[in-house]
Amino acid sequence: MEELHTTLTPMIDLSRKQDGTSDLAAFAKDVAEGLSLKRKDLPSRYFYDKKGSQLFQQIMNLPEYYLTRAEHEVFYSNKEAMCSRFADAGFFHLIDLGAGDAYKTKILLRQLAQQNAAFDYVPVDISGDAMQELSNSLQTELPEVAVQAVIGEYFKALQWLQENKSERKVVLFLGSNIGNFEKQDSIAFLQSIRSYLSTGDRLLMGVDLRKEPEIILQAYDDAAGVTAEFNLNLLRRINRELGGEFILDQFRHYAIYNPLEGVMRSFLISLKEQDVYIKEIDKTYHFKAWEAIHTENSHKYFIQEIEELGKLCGFNIETVYHDQEKRFADVLFTVS
């Protein structure tokens, strides 16, 4: 297949909402719902405003946050094997859900380019800025790779791909992002992904594995306090975008690991009894002293759990790739 690499393909922007509601209205609704619960709860997807994304970049470079380095090692030490699998049946679309800066995926892209594999790269991300930056950086670093960036939510992007691209697909869902979902939601998420794929397609999913509790705990409660900042930034975002009146130093970050369930949970705890007004919602929320807001779950898995999860959703394990210490796995599934 001949590709014209000098042609700049415009990015596909699926981020505009069809139903007339704004992102801000959805944020306000979710915050209002979450803070009205008996056990207060805020969705972790709202961590990632500009400041939050920067803090997450910092987290990935922390000595305690082993996940990113471990997955990088998995990719680096298995790139030949992974890429020859991907490319074993002709042309494919490499679809990167939540691509961001594609730091890890670039290892595969370089390998695939070196192998002269027939593919194009379809990074998907809700951040238009990130997709523009990634397209530009790939244009200089790997001009031989055809790139079609998509701005939008995962399922909108997958639906667009299903309707517009008939060729084989390899979907990447990296970085233990699956770990943020509750069990039921992870099943629904993977079943949805499966519904946009066909026999012969593949999924490569990055998962953090069960390990010594102290190691996990430190990854979410680092000495420099960056994770605490990241968690508290959610309140800062509510203040800025919704006119909230949270006083940040009247809350603290608290993280705890449950080894029975394999779940790392993060909270913001009110240090005293207080009322917090949020202008955009026009409501005041009461906090008792030591009352918590649950902000995030990060699941750690046994490979057997991942195998069962895959089976429930129409995926069979083809290969499990590990780092040397078996802290992290990238699991290659085929569509069953």
* N residues, the chain: 336
What is the layout of strands, in order, in the sheet containing 263-270? 40-41, 292-299, 263-270, 251-258
**Binding string, residues 282-301; x marks residues near ligand AVJ by CB under 6 A:** --------------x-x---
Q: Which two tokens stand for residue 201?
A: 């397609």
Q: Which two tokens stand for residue 264?
A: 């790392």
Q: Are 212 and 244 in contact (CB under 8 A)?
A: no
By beta-carbon proximity to ligand AVJ, the closer residue of 49 and 280 is 49
179 sits near ligand AVJ (criterion: CB under 6 A): yes
> Given candidates 105, 148, 176, 218, which one binds ligand AVJ under the rule CB under 6 A?
176
Beta carbon of residue 259, minimum distance to ligand AVJ (angstroms, whole number): 17
218 sits near ligand AVJ (criterion: CB under 6 A): no
Q: Which stretch binds ligand AVJ (CB under 6 A): 31-39, 155-163, 169-177, 320-328?
A: 169-177
Q: Quick one: how many helices (H) and strands (E) in the chain?
A: 10, 15
By beta-carbon proximity to ligand AVJ, the closer residue of 207 and 238 is 207
Q: Which DSSP letter does residue 102 get?
A: -
Beta carbon of residue 41, minimum distance to ligand AVJ (angstroms, whole number): 15
SS percent in the chain: helix, strand, coil, step 5 = 40, 25, 35
> Given candidates 34, 152, 175, 244, which one binds ligand AVJ under the rule CB under 6 A?
175
Beta carbon of residue 137, minimum distance to ligand AVJ (angstroms, whole number): 21
Q: CA-CA distance, 86 to 93, in Å (whole number)? A: 10
Q: Which residue is nearest to ligand AVJ (CB)?
A: 298
Q: CA-CA distance, 138 to 149, in Å (whole number)? A: 11
220 sits near ligand AVJ (criterion: CB under 6 A): yes
> Residue 35: in which H helix or E strand, if any?
helix 23-36
Q: Which two tokens stand for residue 45?
A: 């997807």
Q: Cβ of 43: how many Cβ atoms within 10 Å?
A: 15
Beta carbon of residue 199, minimum distance to ligand AVJ (angstroms, whole number): 30
By beta-carbon proximity to ligand AVJ, the closer residue of 218 and 298 is 298
Contacts to ligand AVJ by CB under 6 A: 59, 67, 175-177, 179-180, 220, 227, 230, 296, 298
